[in-house]
Structure 1
Amino acid sequence: MSGRTALHAAWILGLAVNEAAPESVARRVFTVNPLPKEGRWLSWSRLTPAAARAAAAHPDPKTRRMLAENPDPAVLTLLADDPETRVRATVVFTAEHHGVELGLDTVRRLAHDPEPRVRHWAGALPGLPDDETLALAEDPDPRVRAAALSAWSWPRLRPEVRAAAEADPDPEIRKAVERATRVEAPLPTTVDAFRVETDERRRRDAAYEAAVDEGLARLLVTHEDAGIRAGAARNPHLPTGLALSLAADADDWVRLSLSLRADLTEEQRAAIDYTAPEGSRPVPDWIKERYGDPDALRELAASSHVLLRRAVAVAPELPDDVVELLAFDEDYFVRLTLCGGKQAPHELLVEMLRSWDGLSKGTLLHRPHFARPGLARFADDPDDWLRHAALFDPERSPELVERLSRDPSRLVRDHAARDPRLPYGRLVELLDEDGEPQAAAFNPALPVELMHGLLDLAGVAPAPS
């Protein structure tokens, strides 16, 4: 790609997602065929309504398929009636995969789509009315019928529909009927039932959750398989005293499992010699059940068990005093976990921005308490991310933005080029190939006349009337 061609592509990419670009600009941008980078960026870009409408009308079905991978409900709704089957199929798959709720009229249309592949996926769409789900069990296409047969739908179907499914020779239908009508046997709860059980998964499940009797409980805590003993250590139906017999187990996983029981006192928990792993771990169900109880959250946040404190740190709502306690926790991962929520305090977010190097580090900048006056003090910090953070200061000056637009870090320069406080003269300079042309074309302070001028220079035709 030549230098000028690359420059023009950068302008088009920036203007395509510029929140201030009017419909006249968006319509011109999305006449470009092929789009820069083959439109792959449409799968994750945040588009304005005008840009979404223009992109949904793009002449290349491959581009519209790429757009259909974007989980924005407005975008998917626009493409639900696309003339290309593959586009509509991608819409349904994206909505189902991401749990996107589309409007009632849209999901009904997709459930009645002329293409079986679309109807097949539509059966799993969030918000699909029950009557539509049941109607799909009578679809002409066997794949669609099979997908509509489940333990939920089977007893709700009319008797003649169930009879037709049972008599259907299609192998997918037979498998679906078997799944829909399968009755899972109760998990073993006695020693005899456990010994004759041949399914290893069911034996593990029994150890973890079955209401076992005293005899099986004693067998589980002495079982040679550490996985079975770890299950027993967590099983809430085991008496606390019997479970505590595993406190000296040779396997660390068993001891860790025991330490996470809900019925232990702090003293009992602290007496167990367990090793807590680093990073995030699945939150025990019994802790999730306490997320709405402020007093329980306070008690758990003060626990000596670091995994309990990490589990509290992911709660969607925390009392202010619990947030403050966790923000100063001695465990790095407790503090980092707290930063994943909306209540993380500003000072902790700044600390993690400096110290953490994870792939989602940039999300810290967009937490509710991050941007605040005073961040400009980091404009000369040796850390690239903290200089970047200086541009989130709501009181940043145009002079500061211009200075950071010349920063040695591409991360900082790119952000400064997008900043609407950037002086106009510097913004125009950055549109050149030696500047940050894509980021500058994204800047919402770019005048509409200049947006059209850039498209003229790139050889983009005027938008059709």
Structure 2
Amino acid sequence: MAGRRPEPRGVPVRFLAPARARRPAWARLFAADPAYEHREKLAACPDLPADVVEILATDQDVRVVAELALWTTPHVAAGLAGHPHAEVRRAVAANESTPPAVLAALITGKGLRPAQRCLVCDREETPFAHDPQCPRLDCDLRPGASCDGSHESTLHDMQRAALQNPATPTEAVIRFADHPSLLLQWALAARPDLPPDVCRRLAVEPRPGVRADLAENPAIDDALLRMLAGDPDHEVRRRLAHNPHVPLDVLTHLAHATRIGATLLPRIAAATPAEVEELAHSPNPAARMLLAQRRDLPAEIRDALVTDPDAKVLKSIAPHPGLSDAQLRGMVDRHGIRVVAKAATNPDATPALLEDLTRHEPPVQKVFREIARHRQATATALLACLPVQQARPLAAGHPALPPTVVAELLTDPDWQVVEAAAANPSLPRSVMSALVPQLRFAEAATRLAPPEPSPA
């Protein structure tokens, strides 16, 4: 069939499933399949028979062995850690079932013989550095892969995998605190088991990407949290706001000076009732704005925030469930275009309010997109959304759209609109019945069409 990639020779891959692979006869059949893709898929299956694991561990294709190393049991992973191919060791380092002592040995090199081969020197004469913009269509080496005989890029990837592996012992990873590799320092800075002295060293790292990963790390103490709040890099401060242990006073300062986005921050979600009360009455509108992102606020606090004089607070509270029609209309009347789109996202917005919002002056494009996906939207509101390009596909799929309009949209020049209209449950059954033969004819014509002649 046109467009389907032919399967490799051997047992069809569609027959391979974890449940079937656990059956010894099936597993042995796949382990001997001539197509490496099938053996590789088998290697990722759990609970394989021991003799099949042994066969896969000695497979001639390193990709099969590496796949086994990535998913196998602690005992088998420990045995593959000394494999002569660096690609297998990299996979062992990423396997969270690998014993901690083995992971430590992989990144320190103690007790293991050096790797003899890697994917680079398997294919190229060393020294070789793979061009990240490699023009060869049949090349599957990783961008930047290189080997000068020491398999350096694969060993670097192995170290990174081990640093990202939570099973790797802390004492084995802290040696990378001063490593020149940015990727390795990033991986280290995100680990939640870092001792305080390592955190302090990373907090003064000149590369902001490392400080940003550290800023979100729950391992850092109060002193570092407060120090990083004054970091000159915006991304460091933004990531710090997502740290679950950031003090509330630091967080409200960050919200005032840093673009965090409309999101419920972990520290706000975990605020105690007393802290919620404190935030609700804070003179700082940034603190009230952060609190308004919660959707489980007590009714009295929610209603107080609805009358807040700051539009940023209202934009955060407007989608809160349980607001009345009068409350939503009051927000729109006071702050207009600044809150109208958020009011349209409220799940309890009435059909009448949604219709009125489509007639708001001046119009706000985002309003139509939100109304077009709202479950309470009426036919009148949806018809007003259709002329807006971004809202048109959403409105075309809304079940409240009149059936005659849905049928008309099947000839729309925008394929997204046509697709949404065709899936609309309001599409008349007679139109659906007429469409089926056309679709079948189009599919048959595609299958029977002769292939295009190749260029001379």
TM-score for both structures, normalised by structure 2: 0.47
Higher RCO (Cα < 8 Å, 6 or more apart): 1
TM-score for both structures, normalised by structure 1: 0.47
